[in-house]
Structure 1
Amino acid sequence: MGSWLRTRFVAGLLVTVPLIITFLILRLLYRNLNGLLGPWLDRLLGWHVPGLGLLATAMLVLLMGLLAANFAGKRLIVLGEGILSRMPLVRAVYRTTKEIVAAVALPKGQGLREPVMIEYPRSGLWSYGFVTAYIEREAAGGIESLANVYLPSPPMPTSGALVAVRLDDLYYLDMSNEQAMKLIVSGGMVAPPRLTARSSVTKNDD
């Protein structure tokens, strides 16, 4: 009887906990996004319309996207970014946030690239990450090819470490970026039973 109850309770947790976490995250997003313009619109209209602030925020984001897609809008955005770049603290926050959003939101190849494994922070310990760029470094023996690898920290992938790795030390995971992010954010609980990784030499031979 005890084993039966424990099994059913664990099964219930597996269903309920993700639903609760999803609800809490969505509620937090709703409150924050709706709170950006909601109070101002309430005062303007004289009454409260649920979700109006969220809708207005979404329309504002769409408008910014439309502006960024045409020449005049791009000039305006560049002008605004130029003003922000003259404010030391604001400049640092804005640039960091913009780079994080771009890395996550841009298509593969423009933001987070291939998911990889590297030996870090020491030999024998493996860390999961994403290639963000391929670079070259001037070394004593000539030009050395490196990869910038971002190592997200669970459960908040927006914080982590950035390391430059020799291409020979990269092992490319045979999974999508989404699968790799789930693996990292879940602390390894959402993981395939067997990981397949190829070295950069093997990858280049394909």
Structure 2
Amino acid sequence: MAEDKEATTSSLSQGLAPQDPEDPPKSPPTSPNSSTRKACYAVLQSWVSKKFMTGFVVLFPVAVTFLITWWFIQFVDGFFSPIYESLGVDIFVLILLSPILNCDSVPGLGFITSVLFTFFVGIFASSWLGSTVFWLGEQFIKRMPFVRHLYSASKQVSTAISPDQNTTAFKEVAIIRHPRIGEYAFGFITSSVTLQTDQGEEELCSVYVPTNHLYIGDVFLMSS
């Protein structure tokens, strides 16, 4: 009996012995189901985030386009409303359309005005007088501290899609070394710049390389 008590006391003392500080405590083992749930949650979260960002990238330019178009229509319509009232256009059209449409305003009049206004501005800008007036206006805008950056960015985009310009922006394809040695990628030549160096002038080409990522792409300056 005494031996049994001593054995029990020794086992209890061993169980209550202080833990070695160098031996870190072991965390309880996790079940396979818990690890699987965490992995599925991470995959689902990544998938939802990517799809949401893809939808945002698709809808953002559409929303901006509609907002700018609607604002432009309202602006032009409000700008020409006094002219319509002085000429009696609104009254004349309302007399003809009010029995059919049963409305107090003319729907679509602002849109028609915007289209005609843009068309006549294009005719005026194509003439010598119009190009001179717009050139003077550009010189004035380029002297303004903050507005000149916004105008330059929008001007580059409009110049790239303009049917009257002679530039080769986005019309020539180039192959450059990207993203590392031994690999190449296709890009579009957007413009050319002249770099002043100690050896003289060096002509460089701005090459735009589109990517499939969420950001638009990369721009490189390559030697011509």
The structure that is helix-richer by fraction is 2
Aligned to 2:162: 105
DSSP-derived class of the 1:72 partner: helix
2:154 equivalent to 1:118: no
Letter in 2 for 1:118: I
Aligned-residue sequence identity (percent) comes to 22
Aligned to 2:71: 35
| Structure 1 residue 139: Cα displacement | 6.1
| Structure 1 residue 33: Cα displacement | 1.4
DSSP-derived class of the 1:57 partner: helix
Task: Summarize the alignment of residues 55-134 of structure 1 with structure 2, pairs less than 5 Å apart.
Answer: 55-106=112-163, 109-134=167-192
Query: Mind listing any 5+ residue stretches in structure 1 that lack a counterpart?
Result: 1-20, 168-206
How many residues matched? 143
2:215 equivalent to 1:163: no
Using the size of structure 2 for normalisation, the TM-score is 0.49
**Which whole-Å CA distance do the structure 1 matches of 2:76 and 2:202 have between them?**
55
| Structure 1 residue 28: Cα displacement | 6.2
| Structure 1 residue 154: Cα displacement | 4.8
Match of 1:47 among 105, 125, 134: 105
Between structure 1 and structure 2, the one with the greater Rg is 2
| Structure 1 residue 34: Cα displacement | 3.3
**Which whole-Å CA distance do the structure 1 matches of 2:152 and 2:78 have between them?**
32
Letter in 2 for 1:62: F
Q: What RMSD over aligned residues (CA atoms) do the two structures have, in Å?
A: 3.7
User: Structure 1's 156 and 83: CA in aligned 2 closer, same or farther, altered over 3 A?
Assistant: farther
**Which whole-Å CA distance do the structure 2 matches of 1:59 and 1:156 have between them?**
37
Deviates more, 1:56-65 or 1:102-111: 102-111
| Structure 1 residue 97: Cα displacement | 0.8
Aligned to 1:16: none
Identify the structure with bigger relative contact order (alpha carbons < 8 Å, sequence gap 6+).
1
User: Structure 1's 92 and 31: CA in aligned 2 closer, same or farther, altered over 3 A?
Assistant: closer
**Which whole-Å CA distance do the structure 1 matches of 2:175 and 2:116 have between them?**
40
8 Å contact kept, 1:42–1:49: no
Letter in 1 for 2:172: E
User: Structure 1's 122 and 67: CA in aligned 2 closer, same or farther, altered over 3 A?
Assistant: same
Query: Mind listing any 5+ residue stretches in structure 2 that lack a counterpart?
Result: 1-57, 82-89, 91-103
